[in-house]
Structure 1
Amino acid sequence: MAVTLKATLKPDKRLDGTRAVRIRITKHRQHSYYNTGIYVKGEPRKKDARRKGDWNPDGSFLKENWVRTSEVLHERYNRAIKQDMADLQHIAGKNPDLSAAEIRAAFEERFKKKEAAAQKGFLSFFREWIRRKRNQRQAGTATVYETALSNVLGFAGEAANEPEALTPAFGSNLVAHLLGKGLKASTVNVTMTQCRTIFSKAVLEGYLPPLQNPFDVPPLQTEDAPMLRPTSDQLLSLMEVEIPRRCRMVPHARAVFLMQYFLHGARFAEVVTLRWEDVTDTHVTYHPRKRAKRKKVVARHAGIDWVLSQYTPRGKYIFPYIRPQHDALDDKGFFSRLRDVNKSVNSSLKILSTLAGLPFSLRTHMQRHTFADTVLGITGDLRKVQEMVGHASVVTTERYVERLRREAVDEVSAQVYGKVGKQ
């Protein structure tokens, strides 16, 4: 006997006034119901449904019109109901001995496998990784990965989730696509680095089978901008700069910049969010906002004391950029606030640079370069630089210090050969 299928509403109404859309499977006069996961407002009986609600009891497979246009998602719902009915009919046709309940069970099992498969793949892990970063309150890192994900989706769409799509040529083609869009070589290199990392981690966690990493392509050639930074003497001399009263926020920007340096080259967000409860008579404690699992504790010294002496312990935060009301923001909103504050501080540091007579404009991250320079000069120990600066990997420190060393060599070389051709 042939199976018959009909989309119906469950008689029981939920608290929000909606009812579940079910597909009734009938065979040998036995019924079984599959819940589609769709809920609409309407009446299960024809005489009531014709008067009100979003449900059309006369809807048909050919017309695909079970949910009325009064429901905003009617097109999506109707397509989903039609697809479920087609899949149920397919299972019934291939398995004529199954009862109505067995047809439903076979369909549900097939749906579970399909759903489990959808949870695997490159893009699935990419989104999971971004979610983890946000849960760890690493909104900046999450934003970088979101940009890389957007670039991949713009090139290949959801097809990039499937292992079959990630051929060895995928990475090279992605690079060509991004360059064709006008992205800078440095931006493309960042996207490829993020994708390479995500792919490797997806394989390790079982989201992808062991495959050659398609993003393992040579980086594009870029011109390294000089790593401008003040010397330690120039940086410390900022404490003596006289700031006009009209430059109201410049003293605060100077205090943040110096506190970053005094806290072992701390990142901007780590310092601007410092609270009075993080300060004791002997130490300052803060939690690095990137990767590190342990809090960082720095012994108080004259530099830290000088910065703290500029402020009176009142309120929650030391510096006047973050207010208690900002705590109510979600991670994305808080990151946006930090980014705006960073721009403001950099603008004030530009004024401070002019007042100090520096040949370049200071930016919040420069003190980190100065600190690494100073530690390397004192210790000559790359591992010590990594530990104190807070890089997760010594490879990052090596790459960072290599640029510093190369610039120093170039400077000496220019001095040695500077007179050639001038005699």
Structure 2
Amino acid sequence: MTQAPLSPPSNRPSEGSAHRAVADFLDHVRHERGLSRETVRAYRTDLERLLAFARDKVQRDRDVRVEDFTDELLHGYVMSLHQRLAKTSQARALSTCRSFFNFLVDRGDLPLNPLRAVSSPKLPSTVPGFLNVDDMVRFLDQLERNAKAPGAPWTHARDWALMETLYSTGLRVGELVRLDRHSVDPVRGLVRTLGKGSKERVVPIGSKALEALRRYLTSRDRTVRRGDAQALFVNTRGGRLTDRSVRRILKARLQQAGLWQPLSPHGLRHSFATHLLSSGADLRSIQEMLGHASLSTTQRYTKVHLDQLMSVYDEAHPRSRKR
């Protein structure tokens, strides 16, 4: 679907136009901060909601201007978010607006960020979904058997390599689908990827994932003669896989393996981190591999780990609470 233009179609936004400021901000985060298309699209949605609210509050015969973002207008906007959106969506919308206003302050359009004193809603701490080690091994073994079955289509090998790579590296799904063939160094066992903010990092990849990749690429090169030759993971037409395609493949393969719990590709990333922590890896190393800017983001896996320990204790210790 074609995106609606940010500026009014009838004339060019005037100097000080909020529409022009939003367009400048989106250009800034896309080209200078290197944010992903998905993040820029989310920013656009949040800021179009802000502009729509402001249009209802200012004179209808003129464009919304930057100076229209007063404390009073933004107080009403925050209240409208509270009434219409879930807490997670409220928090994201406010974060986007803060970033936008900080951008305007930095370039001298506003003296202060008008949302500086507004706090985001407190979000509940959630334990990320993941597979335990036994279920993960069962899942990947099933994919391997499918890939190695006589006469199996090349997509079976692709799906095995896809899931092995996700679990072996802990990549975000967006990072995974952007990988090129040369991103993988099979000799050194490393994958080079661009994370959030176009920050490059190098992560290890295991021997089983490399085996799956070799089988997949050999099968693909025999079968697929068209499409994106550089992309690591492709669809049946030879085009680069999308985030949505990976989610669909994961759901189908989980069900085929008899694992019906809802799990996103990010759940394999959570499984990667949780299993490393359970096996004694330190948080700093996990933070580096996941590409987290802050250690506090990685520390949520300690709660998952402690929950697992408590469950084992309650089931096994003769003087546990359950006994």
Question: Corresponding residue for 2:166?
Answer: 260
- State which of 27, 32, 37 in structure 2 corresponds to 1:139: 37
Structure 2 distance, partners of 1:404, 1:190, is 24
Change (3 A) 1:275 1:211: closer
Q: Is the 8 A contact 1:260 1:266 kept in 2?
A: yes
Residue by residue over 1:127-157, the C-alpha shift from the partner in whole angstroms, topping out at 9 and shown as x without a partner, is 3232133333610110111111022112113
Identity of aligned residues (%): 22
Structure 2 distance, partners of 1:194, 1:347, is 29
Q: Which aligned pairs between 1:20-419 and structure 2 lie closer than 5 A?
A: 118=16, 124-135=20-31, 136=34, 138-157=36-55, 161-163=65-67, 165-167=69-71, 169-180=72-83, 182-211=84-113, 213-214=115-116, 216-219=118-121, 226-241=127-142, 242-243=145-146, 249=155, 251-263=157-169, 265-280=170-185, 281-294=187-200, 296-312=201-217, 314=221, 315-321=229-235, 341-379=242-280, 381-398=282-299, 400-401=300-301, 404=304, 408=308, 417-418=321-322
Per the TM alignment, residue 343 of structure 1 is displaced from its structure 2 partner at its CA by 2.8
Change (3 A) 1:417 1:249: farther
Q: Which runs of 5+ in 2 are unaligned?
A: 1-8, 59-63, 222-228
Q: Is the 8 A contact 2:132 2:271 kept in 1?
A: yes
Per the TM alignment, residue 225 of structure 1 is displaced from its structure 2 partner at its CA by 5.7
Per the TM alignment, residue 371 of structure 1 is displaced from its structure 2 partner at its CA by 1.9
Per the TM alignment, residue 389 of structure 1 is displaced from its structure 2 partner at its CA by 0.3
Q: Helix, strand or coil for the counterpart of 2:197?
A: coil
Q: CA RMSD in A?
A: 3.8
Name whichever structure is richer in strand by fraction.
Answer: 1
Q: Which amino acid counterpart does residue 190 of structure 1 have in structure 2?
A: R
Structure 2 distance, partners of 1:378, 1:139, is 35
Q: Which amino acid counterpart does residue 219 of structure 1 have in structure 2?
A: P
Per the TM alignment, residue 405 of structure 1 is displaced from its structure 2 partner at its CA by 5.8
Per the TM alignment, residue 406 of structure 1 is displaced from its structure 2 partner at its CA by 7.6
Change (3 A) 1:248 1:417: farther
Structure 1 distance, partners of 2:69, 2:113, is 12
Q: Is the 8 A contact 1:372 1:385 kept in 2?
A: yes
Structure 2 distance, partners of 1:406, 1:161, is 51
Question: Corresponding residue for 1:98?
Answer: none
Name whichever structure is richer in helix by fraction.
Answer: 2
Q: Is the 8 A contact 2:131 2:267 kept in 1?
A: yes
Change (3 A) 1:312 1:211: closer
Q: Which amino acid counterpart does residue 319 of structure 1 have in structure 2?
A: F
Structure 2 distance, partners of 1:325, 1:229, is 29
Structure-2-length-normalised TM-score: 0.71
Structure 2 distance, partners of 1:408, 1:174, is 42
Structure 2 distance, partners of 1:305, 1:233, is 21
Count, aligned residues: 288
Q: Is the 8 A contact 2:25 2:103 kept in 1?
A: no
Structure 2 distance, partners of 1:128, 1:379, is 46
Please identify the structure whose Cα radius of gyration is greater.
1
Q: Is the 8 A contact 1:250 1:348 kept in 2?
A: no
Q: Which has the higher contact order (CA 8 A, sep 6+)?
A: 2
Structure 2 distance, partners of 1:324, 1:134, is 27
Structure 1 distance, partners of 2:306, 2:21, is 38
